[in-house]
């Protein structure tokens, strides 16, 4: 199993702060400067998992070889949500803020976030190459996958880039098919693992603990009456992938500290409610968090969602779940 790196979004390490200061971020084409000896790649990089990181390592290496600077062009929102407005079911591993924090950790010099709109989607491949890559950025080398498509109707291809690049003064380096396919497979497997509740497998493939952040909102305080007060999370990004229903051991990051927690995702069938909830019981915590943003980092899944015959039966199971959760944390410390 690969080492799990520290997730920087709410609990940054010193190295994250250092890289964050080094990485320059631009939002929109007008903000883009001319970048000396720019080595560029492009993509959504959802998850920023080891496959993505290997591509960015290559990008940074190529930039270092020519005394240049590495550049990633990405888009917000995800292009599929604009081109296919019926894609409400599209689920992503990172919000934009999470992705930017993870990218800042890779040593990338420049991140260009282009707002993806219907108007932008109409730009032809040739116009994109000339106006953005060449005239705006001043690309010297483009590192790109063999199957990458760009421009209106995805009309631009690697072949077109190779044909145009000599006359426009830049080189094109192809990322091998096996490497690109490996990245795609990794992303698919991570999403599948999360949808099955296998957050340990997802963490192994991501290289960090999967997380979900949200606003703490008022609940009906049923958990408090059972002796397990919970913070109820409202996740506002409809495209953020929430793992399968069930009970999980999680780290809970607040603005000031990190707590051990036991999380429930799903409907409350014992209460005959089909409304899906995300409710976390923080260990050794007695304050309230209403109105605060907190983050859940998933460690392991205890069990699936169940319906019990009574609240008394549910309470007994929650006591068992808490003991199991505490054992999971004890094993982490060994």
- The CATH number of whichever domain residue 306 belongs to comes to 2.40.30.30
Bridge-partner residues for 70, per DSSP? 39
Asked if residue 195 is part of any domain, the answer here is no
Q: Are 19 and 160 found together in one domain?
A: yes
Q: Are 229 and 130 found together in one domain?
A: no
Mean pLDDT to the nearest integer, 106-131: 91
Q: Are 62 and 154 found together in one domain?
A: yes
What's the pLDDT band for 6 if we cut at 50, 70, 90?
Answer: very low
Q: Are 178 and 263 found together in one domain?
A: no
Determine the Cα–Cα distance for residues 146 and 226; give it in Å rounded to an integer: 57
Q: Are 26 and 89 found together in one domain?
A: yes
Q: Which domain holds residue 29?
A: 14-188
Cross-sheet strand order for the sheet of 171-175? 24-27, 110-115, 69-76, 38-42, 139-145, 171-175
Entry pTM: 0.87
pLDDT per residue over 151-183, tens digit each? 666 666 777 788 888 999 999 998 876 676 777
Q: Judge whether 141 and 101 are in contact, CB under 8 Å.
A: no
pLDDT per residue over 183-194, tens digit each? 777 888 999 999
pLDDT per residue over 57-82, tens digit each? 999 999 999 999 999 999 999 988 88
Determine the Cα–Cα distance for residues 209 and 201; give it in Å rounded to an integer: 10
Q: Are 55 and 170 found together in one domain?
A: yes
State the Cα angle at 322 between 314 and 294, rounded to 5°: 100
**Structural domains in the chain (count):** 2
Q: Are 84 and 158 found together in one domain?
A: yes
State the Cα angle at 302 between 219 and 257, rounded to 5°: 55
Helix (H), strand (E), coil (C) string for 78-134:
CHHHHHCCCCCCCCECCCHHHHHHHHHCCCCCEEEEEECCHHHHCCCHHHHHHHHHH
Mean pLDDT to the nearest integer, 259-285: 90
DSSP state letter for 197: T
What's the pLDDT band for 281 if we cut at 50, 70, 90?
Answer: very high
Asked if residue 205 is part of any domain, the answer here is no
Choose the weakest-confidence range: 6-10, 51-55, 171-175, 191-195. 6-10
Asked if residue 272 is part of any domain, the answer here is yes
């Amino acid at each position: 199993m690969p080492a799990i790196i520290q997730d920087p979004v709410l609990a940054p390490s010193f190295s994250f702060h250092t890289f964050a200061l080094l990485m320059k971020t631009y939002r929109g084409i007008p903000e883009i400067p001319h970048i000396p000896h720019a080595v560029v790649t492009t993509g959504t990089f959802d998850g920023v998992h080891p496959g993505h990181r290997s591509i960015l390592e290559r990008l940074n290496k190529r930039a270092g070889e020519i005394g240049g600077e590495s550049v990633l062009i990405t888009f917000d929102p995800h292009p599929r949500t604009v081109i296919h407005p019926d894609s409400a079911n599209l689920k992503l591993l990172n919000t934009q803020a999470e992705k930017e924090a993870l990218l800042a950790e890779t040593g990338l010099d420049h991140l260009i976030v282009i707002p993806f709109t219907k108007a932008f989607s109409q730009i032809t491949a040739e116009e994109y190459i000339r106006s953005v890559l060449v005239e705006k950025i001043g690309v010297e080398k483009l590192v790109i996958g063999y199957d990458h498509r760009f421009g209106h109707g995805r009309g631009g291809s690697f072949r077109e880039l190779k044909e145009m690049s000599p006359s426009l003064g830049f080189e094109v380096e192809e990322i091998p098919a096996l490497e690109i396919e490996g990245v795609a497979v990794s992303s698919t497997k991570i999403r599948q693992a999360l949808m099955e509740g296998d957050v340990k497998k997802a963490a192994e493939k991501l290289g960090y603990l999967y997380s979900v952040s949200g606003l703490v909102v008022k609940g009906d305080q049923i958990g408090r009456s059972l002796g397990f007060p919970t913070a109820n999370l409202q996740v506002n990004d409809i495209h953020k992938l929430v793992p399968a229903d069930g009970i999980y051991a999680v780290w809970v990051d607040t603005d000031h500290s990190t707590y051990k927690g036991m999380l429930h995702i799903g409907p409350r069938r014992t209460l005959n409610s089909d409304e899906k909830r995300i409710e976390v019981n923080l260990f050794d915590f007695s304050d309230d968090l209403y109105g605060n943003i907190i983050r859940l980092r998933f460690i392991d899944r205890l069990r699936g969602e169940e319906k019990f015959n009574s609240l008394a039966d549910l309470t007994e199971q929650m006591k068992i779940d808490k003991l199991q959760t505490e054992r999971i944390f004890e094993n982490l410390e060994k």
